[in-house]
Amino acid sequence: MINIIKTNQRLLIRWLIANFLAWPIGLFIAIILSYTVVNIFHPDETNLILGLGIGFTVGISQWFVLKKYQKISKWWIAIPCLCIGIPFAILTMMEENGNTLPVLFNIDEAGQILFFFTAGVLTGIFQIIVFKGTLSNSYSWIILSGIAWAASLAYNQILLSGIIMGLITGFGLIILIRKKVILTS
């Protein structure tokens, strides 16, 4: 029992650090890519690829943590990159062109929160597929993913966003693995 508690504590600390570092690193990658590649086609725009950068770094940092405890597909890296990056790019392009979101989403901040909750749910669905059924309550992970992405993007503080995401998904992960232990170290 003590081994499981220590393992859970290590997992949570690693998970928090990984998510905390992923956000500013993702922002940095987005800025570099924006100035070296994207600005050639779309001048003065970092937001267009911000979601891809943060999604990629969140995915890879979480993958590095999880692979120490369980075999996990490298698709885990691509999932947040695509599921967060593509909607973020679409939202940016829509706003720049003066288009609005559908009425359901068009409520300024509340609409964006709902938009990213939906993207987070999509991320959670694909992550469960990649996790290959090792979580005992997969539906909870999907909802936690939606809440985590919506809360971290809604708060919009790059340094705190990773902590918010790490806390929500980290504690959720530990609670979900209690019933079905996936950890091997």
**Sign for the pseudo-dihedral over CA of 35, 118, 181, 171:** positive
Cβ contact 30:46 at 8 Å: yes
Cα Rg, the chain, nearest whole Å: 17
Burial class (CB in 10 A: 0-12, 13-18, 19+), 51: buried
Spatial distance between the Cα atoms of 53 and 28, rounded to a whole number of angstroms: 8
Per residue of the chain (185 residues), what is the pLDDT tens digit? 455 567 788 889 999 999 999 989 998 988 888 778 766 666 656 566 788 888 999 999 999 998 887 788 899 999 998 988 888 777 777 777 776 655 545 556 777 788 889 889 999 999 888 876 555 567 888 999 999 988 887 766 667 888 999 999 998 888 877 655 444 33
Q: What is the pLDDT of residue 185?
A: 34
Look up the pTM and report it. Answer: 0.81
pLDDT number for residue 38 = 66
Q: Report the C-alpha gap between 1 and 157 in whole angstroms.
A: 37
pLDDT at 1: 46
- Please give the sequence-ordered ranges of beta strands (E in DSSP) within 15-148, or none if there are none: none
